[in-house]
């Protein structure tokens, strides 16, 4: 991983996008460096918001800016492709490349570096996420927890401007999940980037979020600290 200077990172998103005749994403929010939780029931539009920020879906209108780089601006007709946005995205189904080894997956985003440097960086990030022993394994032979760790390592190795996590820890047992959260938090103490973490679990939202954004029917209906916006009983 390349050292990045310490500075205040900010992700600003204003998204309007019709997903179907009866469902419109219409939200506006800002998140600072650290964990922010995008919380809502299944089908609320959380994944579509991440897809718009990453550049996979193109909103009909709005503006997306990270680290003072405008990734999308419908008014100014700016629409950077996903490859130019430098966002890290861990998909719900992880999307590991099935024909590549663990190391090849992790260094996929480092094509601009020399081969030796790629390998070194790949080994280092895998070791950091407790996966150093998996280097030469095929991704098809990994357990659920191992796959999650490899997907995280693959996304973080690119030194991203922001990290988008779509329920990446949902399939893990509690102990592994806590370990992963620790590893992520310690990684972000060094890198200080905005992390948008999607979940529909109140427990996860309470454990993780310095800030929670509640999404309902494509709109952010509340923002604040977990204690302010999450009514434990009504969500459980």
Partner 1 sequence: MNWQAILLTVRLATTVCALLLVIALPLAYWISFFNRRWRFLVEAVIALPLVLPPTVLGYYMLVAFSPHSFLGRLADSLFSVRLAFSFPGLVLASVIYSLPFAVQPVANAFSAVDSRLLHAAAVLGASRWRCFRTIILPLSKAGILTGAVLTFAHTVGEFGVVLMVGGNIQGATQTISIAIYDDVQALNYASAARTSALLLLFSFVALAVVYALNRRSSILWSTARSA
Point out which residues bind partner 1 (CB under 8 A): 51, 54-56, 81-83, 85-89, 91, 93, 95-99, 108-109, 111-112, 139-142, 147, 154-155, 158
Of 5 and 98, the one with the shorter C-beta distance to partner 1 is: 98
Can you tell me the distance from the alpha carbon of 94 to that of 148, in angstroms, rounded to the nearest whole number? 7
Write down the least CB distance from residue 221 to partner 1, Å: 28
Phi, psi (rounded to 5 degrees) for 77: 55, 40
Write down the least CB distance from residue 121 to partner 1, Å: 13
Of 42 and 83, the one with the shorter C-beta distance to partner 1 is: 83
Of 94 and 214, the one with the shorter C-beta distance to partner 1 is: 94
Write down the least CB distance from residue 174 to partner 1, Å: 22
Can you tell me the distance from the alpha carbon of 141 to that of 128, in angstroms, rounded to the nearest whole number? 21
Phi, psi (rounded to 5 degrees) for 50: -60, -45
Strand partners, 37: 197, 212
User: Distance of CA 78 to CAs 11, 73, 179, 189, Å?
Assistant: 16, 5, 39, 32
Write down the least CB distance from residue 158 to partner 1, Å: 6
Of 149 and 211, the one with the shorter C-beta distance to partner 1 is: 149
């Amino acid at each position: 991983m390349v050292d990045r200077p310490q500075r205040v990172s900010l992700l600003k998103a204003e998204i309007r996008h019709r997903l179907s005749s009866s469902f419109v994403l219409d939200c506006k929010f800002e998140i600072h460096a650290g964990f922010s939780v995008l919380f809502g029931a299944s089908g609320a539009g959380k994944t579509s918001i991440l897809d718009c920020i990453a550049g996979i879906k193109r909103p009909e209108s709005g503006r997306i800016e990270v680290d003072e780089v405008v990734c999308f601006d419908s008014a100014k007709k700016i629409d950077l492709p996903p490859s130019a946005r430098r966002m890290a995205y861990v998909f719900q189904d992880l999307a590991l490349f099935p024909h590549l080894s663990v190391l090849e997956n992790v260094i996929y985003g480092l094509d601009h570096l020399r081969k030796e440097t790629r390998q070194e960086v790949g080994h280092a990030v895998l070791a950091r996420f407790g996966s150093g022993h998996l280097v030469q394994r095929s991704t098809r032979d990994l357990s659920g927890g191992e796959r999650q760790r490899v997907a995280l390592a693959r996304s973080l190795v690119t030194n991203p401007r922001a990290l988008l996590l779509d329920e990446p820890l949902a399939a893990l047992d509690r102990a592994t999940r806590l370990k992963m959260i620790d590893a992520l938090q310690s990684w972000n103490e060094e890198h200080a980037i905005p992390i948008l973490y999607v979940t529909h679990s109140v427990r996860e939202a309470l454990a993780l979020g310095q800030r929670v954004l509640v999404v309902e029917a494509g709109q952010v209906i509340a923002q604040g600290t977990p204690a302010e916006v999450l009514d434990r009983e009504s969500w459980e």
